[in-house]
Amino acid sequence: MSEIVNQIADATGIDPGLAEKALGMMLGFLEKEGDDAAVQKMIAAIPGAAELISEHAGDGGGGFLSGLAGGGIMGLGQQLMGAGLGMGEITALARQTIAVAKQYAGEETVDQVVASIPGLGQFI
């Protein structure tokens, strides 16, 4: 997973520690909000993704979005801004996360995940 985090950090100019945390949060969001079958296939294909989600996005019992009013894509944005990222960095990180997911899980699977989450397509 460190190779993936470094790839994303280099591409976005974000500190690797923050990139790791944000990646875990984004993958956790996809796991919570996306099409179950497609998301599970995607997470299984990305080395270390399940562990990263567990570390940074909670245990699946509500996770990091449980305390946010509204949750969803806006809740994720609020959480990432709270971690110190600006909108431009969040957009760059989202695009890189999707690009990496496509490298490992394939375009069709990742496109299915993105299409299953209302509003996500406009951010990537």
- Asked if 75 and 65 count as a contact pair (C-beta separation under 8 A), the reply is yes
In the chain, what percentage of residues exceed pLDDT 70?
Answer: 90
Q: Is the pLDDT of residue 71 over 80?
A: no
Domain 2-116 fold is: Globin-like (1.10.490)
- Asked if 15 and 86 count as a contact pair (C-beta separation under 8 A), the reply is no
Q: Is the pLDDT of residue 31 over 70?
A: yes
Domain boundaries, the chain: 2-116
- Check residue 7 and give its pLDDT: 95
pLDDT tens column, 42-51: 999 999 999 9
For the chain, give the number of residues.
124
- Check residue 123 and give its pLDDT: 77
Q: Which residue, chain included where needed, has tokens 């470094």?
A: 6
pTM reported for the whole predicted model = 0.86
